[in-house]
Structure 1
Amino acid sequence: MIKVRREEVIHVEDWAEIRRLHRAEQMPIRAIARHLGISKNTVKRALAHDRPPKYERPAKGSAVDAVEVQIRELLRETPTMPTTVIAERIGWQRGMTILKERVRELRPAHLPVDPVSRTAYRPGELAQCDLWFPEADIPLGYGQTGRPPVLVMVSGYSRIIAARMLPSRRSGDLIDWHWRLLAAWGAAPRMLVWDNEAGVGKGRVTSEFAAFAGLLSIKIYLCRPRDPEAKGLVERANGYLETSFLPGRHFTGPDDFNTQLDAWLKVANRRVHRTLQARPSDRWEADLAGMLALPPVAPPPWWGFQIRLGRDHYVRVDTCDYSVDPAAIGRMVTVLCDNDEVIVLAQGGEIVARHPRCWARHQTLTDPHHADDVMRRGVHRQHGGAACAAAAPDVVEVEQRELGTYDRLFTVIDGGNNQEAG
């Protein structure tokens, strides 16, 4: 026989047995009460409720109840105020555990709503961006290998993925490939979501990215630190690339990596997305219609600087040195760089150097024409790169003496310098 408590509060097992006996066995209430040793009213209450009984201890007041109004007022003014500061403001003299638990319950009601942590997105609303660092050694040339970053963008509504390997994490390289990926889309989402990447901004967008956002008329949203949920779409896309694209592949260089990645993305964007239960490519047309049109003119190179060309006639971009036509020595030149090439312009727009972008580090790249020009002009590299041009001196005939003469002069052999002097 199943025992019940004296106060006639039955366990879940008793409640289930009562309902089974009455409905399945067709046993009358009186017989159930006699069979289980409980009152008929208890049986009736068990049959009257479709949910199992739950014992709840009578609520007792907490010491925090007396100061809850003050806590709410402080949180209303400063939602992120630490509990220790709240305790000091309200003069709390008791244990901190119960105060922390109450503050933890009250704080979410006063925190501002995070506009990025939504799980539903409107067409063209935003794209989440991140850098993925594939665990693959990519040949970079000059005997070097490395693991360059990959810019990944995921559109919120359609979940279309776009990605490209970059030579560096600098603002200029990031902006250059942002533009190229958006140009491939043919439009720009109204907001780009980034975490605190140094090339984009930490707490505040860099001036370069602010100018880029102004050109596109979009907003760049920087997530709070340690808030990966705010860009969960691109985080999952990084994992997708890591597990579905990378395994078993070999690459001959960054161009080969990007070629294989482009081919894979065309297939991946046509697969059924598990969350959407739809193909991203099928939602892309609606997503694209909600985006902003790109400006009619491509942006200028975002990685550029001016410098007076020294006698060394080389300019440094990232960690590599690129030669410039020696004719520009001493003149102001403008260095423009993107992910493909480095161009140097003299005043008036004359191109005085054009080199493919080097992905390897600490290399010196010399155009053969610049080296020939140096030789023709009689320019010599001295003291780590200083150069000078001098006119060739007049030819003077000099007497050539026997080598033995110098030996006798310095008393290396018999004869001595006295004989020589004579």
Structure 2
Amino acid sequence: MVIRDEAEAEILRLHQVEKWPVGTIAAHLQVHHSVVTRVIASGGAPPARPQRSARIDAYVPFIVDWLRRYPGLLSSRLYQMCRERGYRGSADHFRHMVARHRPPRRVEAFLRTTALPGEHGQVDWAHFGKIKIGRAERPLLAFVCVLSYSRRIFLRFFLGQRIENFLRGHVAAFAAFGGVPRVLLYDNLKSAVLDRRGDAILFNPRLVHFSMHYHFEIRPAAVARGNEKGRVERAIGYARTSFWPARQWGDLDDLNAQAAAWCAGEASERPWPDDKRKTVATAFAEEQSRLLALPENSYETEEVVSAKVGKTPHVRFEGNDYSVPHTLVRQVVEVRATLERVRILSAGKVEAEHARSFDRGLVIEDPLHTAELKKSKGEARKHRALDRLAQSAPSAQPIFTLLAQAGANLGRSTQHFLELLDAFGAVELELAMREALADGRVLASDVRKLLEARRRAAGGSPQALVDLPDDARVRDLVVRPRDLGCYDQLLRSDEEVRDAGAN
């Protein structure tokens, strides 16, 4: 059998270097053992000293084949695969055999990156657990920005990684640095990169618009290249070990004040990695003048969402209900929020403003909105009462005109006239009102005297006024009279029984 030169070379290597026996080589290369023997003999190399066969010898070709296809396959998994195929050797010996045949890993070498002053910065989020605010549990995240040349760190904490918080972190970092680096490097986080397919990158449009305002370049780090953003990764690790442990703080403002003091103090006084004779603060002083100048106006970082006012005059935002004027019920409004305030706008006009809460399930109301709602309810009730009086007694309209001219309390007068309407009926009230208008006496007390006088003249008893609730089910209730003749029949029956007993 004739074989290729590559196969002969592999036979010689396995026999002389790996010390494989002839049968193992033949099984692995799928050739006859006589061919292996001939190649070894023709190679001029001294025959290898025969070795004692081992249990694992039959599994070596299987192991080599799987390691060739999957170099990272764990030896524990390979051991289970061989156990399923009948291998009964020890796990330790198997692990040593796998290590001997595993192909060497290719180690990638990285270039040491250098940065010019003011040229680069690196940005990332870091998670620091969760915090409780009232009934809400909010994620605590740190926005970290590092200037690549001086290693000056900016650290600020936020409750969540919304894009607005991401931009707020940038604005605060630029203000702390007194300028803007020309290039900012980002990991593939959603705040910066929405989608990526190889070299095709879809950046977050809010970040793109933001970069246009500050004139810096957005540059994403390559996938699986942590070395490209090593400065910000080391800064996050430094903050976790130097700033965060055993840190006591009252609220988020207190925590950020401490973080700013740490950045300007301890973090800036550490040795500069490129020259241990300098500090980070010294290198930053050299770099600061090379940064891009800040624009005259800061970027607007409000959160803007649309919301619909429900049946009650409130708008829900991040789990809390904020009051609005009752005239906005069932309308769509715009909510604009900073970290401190929440504004509700309709047609570009600010209709309500509240202090922002990061709790959940709260109803945050402006007393003015509540007062206006109650007032509108009272006005509505008064109008309904006047309409009822006008429909029942047309003379009520001129009477109320005279009362208004006299400066009387119209609300109380309305209530008194409604009581008279319920007590005496619409016909009697209208007649009394006409008589009152003719006499020029239009107070409710005057009309009541006329009503009682007419009732006495008709032989009736004085009317006891009953305060009925403003409910149609009560006011419009009709009681049908019943024939009581059956009771008279019962009385006559009882008298007949008594008379019969007496006889």
SS at match of 2:354: strand
What does 1:396-407 align with in structure 2 at a 5 Å threshold? 396-397=418-419, 398=422, 400=466
Match of 1:130 in 2: 124
Q: C-alpha separation between the residues in 2 aligned to 1:309 and 1:144? A: 23
2:261 paired residue among 253, 260, 263: 263
Deviation readout 1:20-56 (Å, 9 max, x if unpaired)? xxxxxxxxxxxxxxxxxxxxxxxxxxxxxxxxxxxxx
Offset at residue 352 of structure 1 (A): 1.7
Offset at residue 259 of structure 1 (A): 1.7
Q: C-alpha separation between the residues in 2 aligned to 1:352 and 1:258? A: 32
Percent identity, please.
24
Q: C-alpha separation between the residues in 1 aligned to 2:369 and 2:486? A: 52
On the 8 A contact 2:178/2:294 being kept in 1, the answer is: yes
Aligned residue identity for 1:287? E
Q: C-alpha separation between the residues in 2 aligned to 1:247 and 1:345? A: 43
Match of 1:121 in 2: 115
Q: Structure 2 vs 1, CA of residues 262 and 138 (structure 1 numbering), >3 Å: closer, same or farther?
A: farther
Q: C-alpha separation between the residues in 1 aligned to 2:286 and 2:65? A: 56
What does 1:78-227 align with in structure 2 at a 5 Å threshold? 119-135=113-129, 138-140=131-133, 142-144=134-136, 146-202=138-194, 203=196, 204-227=202-225
Aligned residue identity for 2:384? P
Q: Structure 2 vs 1, CA of residues 211 and 145 (structure 1 numbering), >3 Å: closer, same or farther?
A: same
Aligned residue identity for 2:288? L
Q: C-alpha separation between the residues in 1 aligned to 2:150 and 2:171? A: 20
SS at match of 2:140: coil
Q: More displaced, 246-255 or 322-331?
A: 322-331
Aligned residue identity for 1:188? V
Deviation readout 1:361-416 (Å, 9 max, x if unpaired)? 3433222222222222229xxxxxxxxx7765325435759xxxxxxxxxxxxxxx
Aligned residue identity for 2:266? A
Match of 1:294 in 2: 294
Give unpaired runs (5+ residues) of structure 1.
Answer: 1-59, 64-93, 380-388, 402-416
Calculate the aligned-residue CA RMSD, in Å. 3.9
Deviation readout 1:247-301 (Å, 9 max, x if unpaired)? 2222221111112222222212332236232311111133222222222222233
Offset at residue 97 of structure 1 (A): 6.1
Aligned residue identity for 1:247? P
Which of the pair has more CA radius of gyration?
2
Q: C-alpha separation between the residues in 2 aligned to 1:61 and 1:273? A: 57
Q: C-alpha separation between the residues in 2 aligned to 1:390 and 1:214? A: 57
Deviation readout 1:80-133 (Å, 9 max, x if unpaired)? xxxxxxxxxxxxxx968669999986x979xxxx9xx85321111222112222
Name the structure where helix makes up a greater proportion of residues: 2
Match of 1:74 in 2: none
SS at match of 1:247: coil
**Bigger RCO (CA 8 Å, 6+ sep):** 1
SS at match of 1:377: helix
Q: C-alpha separation between the residues in 2 aligned to 1:167 and 1:188? A: 25
1:393 paired residue among 370, 381, 384: 384
Match of 1:340 in 2: 340
Aligned residue identity for 1:319? G
Q: Structure 2 vs 1, CA of residues 180 and 343 (structure 1 numbering), >3 Å: closer, same or farther?
A: farther
On the 8 A contact 2:311/2:329 being kept in 1, the answer is: yes
What is the total number of aligned residue pairs between the two structures? Answer: 302
On the 8 A contact 2:135/2:360 being kept in 1, the answer is: no
Match of 2:367 in 1: 368
Q: Structure 2 vs 1, CA of residues 370 and 197 (structure 1 numbering), >3 Å: closer, same or farther?
A: farther
| Alignment TM-score, normalising by the size of structure 1 | 0.60
| Alignment TM-score, normalising by the size of structure 2 | 0.52
On the 8 A contact 2:180/2:291 being kept in 1, the answer is: yes
On the 8 A contact 1:148/1:165 being kept in 2, the answer is: yes
On the 8 A contact 2:272/2:283 being kept in 1, the answer is: no
Deviation readout 1:314-349 (Å, 9 max, x if unpaired)? 3333333322233444666432222222222333x5
What does 1:226-237 align with in structure 2 at a 5 Å threshold? 226-237=224-235
Q: C-alpha separation between the residues in 1 aligned to 2:183 and 2:153? A: 16
Match of 2:33 in 1: none
On the 8 A contact 1:166/1:339 being kept in 2, the answer is: no
Q: C-alpha separation between the residues in 2 aligned to 1:259 and 1:306? A: 33
Match of 2:313 in 1: 313
